[in-house]
Homo-oligomer: A and B are copies of this chain.
Amino acid sequence: MVQWEGVMPAVTTKFTEADTLDLKMFEINISAQLDAGVHGIVLGGTLGEASTLTADEKRILIEKTVAIVQSKVPVIINIAEQTTKAAIEAAHHAEKYGAKGLMILPPMRYKATDFETITYFKAIAQSTDLPIMIYNNPVDYKIEVTLDMFEEMLQQKNIKAVKESTRDITNITRIKNRFGNRLNILCGVDTLALESMMAGADGWVAGLVCAFPAETVAIYKLVKTGRIKEALEIYRWFMPLLELDISPQLVQNIKLAEVATGIGTENVRPPRLPLQGAERKRVLSIIEQGIKARPKLPII
């Protein structure tokens, strides 16, 4: 059963030079995540370049991940579809292929009304037994799931958590005040993770964890055991890297970081292209400085 807490990497999809799935490198990365002690694997998010994957590729990725993790941690599938019908179908497939939970975005490519958004989420929730985390990211996806909308949606027992990406950190306190433990909160913005967890978030759906799993897990564990000062020290070191997550080119940024730590390649699928020129240099320099100053992690 999914606990909806801890560090859950939103993993990248690995491609070969020939633009096919690179399952070998994918396994290397997932294994590194498991070794570091993550609490779940999130597949098919923005970082996974989900919008460019075929149905077949999605199936393969789920099955492969399920095989690698061997029930050590739950596999969570992100659903980001353009029709209610396709979303329900994706939920069925996720369950069938072995996923243990769903992360669901509002409808894609249409700014639905509150009523339509609620109807959409409810329809999917009612079609599956899997527990669900709502992905609330109005900055990138325009639709905000307000607390009033959650109030209504929580009638669905399997809606269990929210991936909080509003950038409005006060939401952590608002949600805790209103829903207590009924709705778990996972911070979805790398640069707000420490603050969010100190304010009560239960976990962190993380990005730079793809390249730096041990450091990410260390911050989480230190915060949860009250060793704030140590957590803050790692977090400050980590921040220039974490800022790479807050960019439309986060996939390219993080893949470049994965190359530097030996657990990924830079290949992306067009229209995405690898970083170019001055921007590539800027990002590489941040990564190199980060690796040079990499902190020795405390025993936790």
Question: Complex: how many Å from CA A196 to CA B196?
Answer: 11
> Most chain-B CB neighbours within 10 Å: which of A107, A116, A120, A228?
A116
> Would you call A179 an interface residue if the criterion is a C-beta within 8 Å of the partner chain's C-beta atoms?
no
Q: Is A119 part of the binding interface, using a Cβ–Cβ cutoff of 8 Å?
A: yes
A170 on interface, CB distance cutoff 8 Å: yes
Interface residue ranges of A225-278 to B (CB < 8 Å): 226, 228, 232, 235-236, 239-240, 243, 248-249, 269-273, 276
Cβ of A52 under 8 Å from chain B: yes
Which positions 129-146 of chain A face chain B at CB distance < 8 Å? none
Which of A82-90, A203-211, A212-220 makes up part of the contact surface?
A82-90
Q: Which residue among A109, A110, A195, A271 has the maximum number of chain B CB atoms within 10 Å of its CB?
A: A271
Q: Are B111 and A108 in contact (CB under 8 A)?
A: no
Question: How distant is A235 from chain B, measured CB to nearest CB, in Å?
Answer: 7
Contact assessment for B83 and A199 in the assembled complex, using a CB-CB cutoff below 8 Å = no
Chain B nearest CB: distance from A116 CB in Å? Answer: 5
**Copies of this polypeptide in the complex:** 4
Q: Does A184 make an interface contact (CB < 8 A)?
A: no
**Choice from B82, B119, B194, B232 contacting A52 with Cβ under 8 Å:** B82
Closest to A195 in B: B195
Q: Are B232 and A270 in contact (CB under 8 A)?
A: no
Are B109's CB and A51's CB within 8 A?
yes
Given A271-B83, A271-B119, A272-B116 in contact, is the A198-B195 Cβ separation under 8 Å? yes
* Residues of B with C-beta under 8 A to A276: 113, 115
Residues of B within 8 A of A33 (CB): none
Given contact pairs A173-B239, A176-B236, A235-B173, A270 touches B85 in the complex (Cβ within 8 A): yes
**Besides A108-B109, A115-B273, A198-B198, 5 new A-B residue pairs in contact (Cβ under 8 A), listed by A number:** A107-B271, A119-B270, A120-B270, A174-B239, A199-B232
Residues of A within 8 A of B (CB): 51-52, 80, 82-85, 107-113, 115-117, 119-120, 123, 169-170, 173-174, 176-177, 191-192, 194-196, 198-200, 226, 228, 232, 235-236, 239-240, 243, 248-249, 269-273, 276, 279
Closest 8 CB pairs of A and B: A111-B248, A84-B270, A107-B271, A195-B195, A51-B109, A51-B82, A120-B271, A170-B191
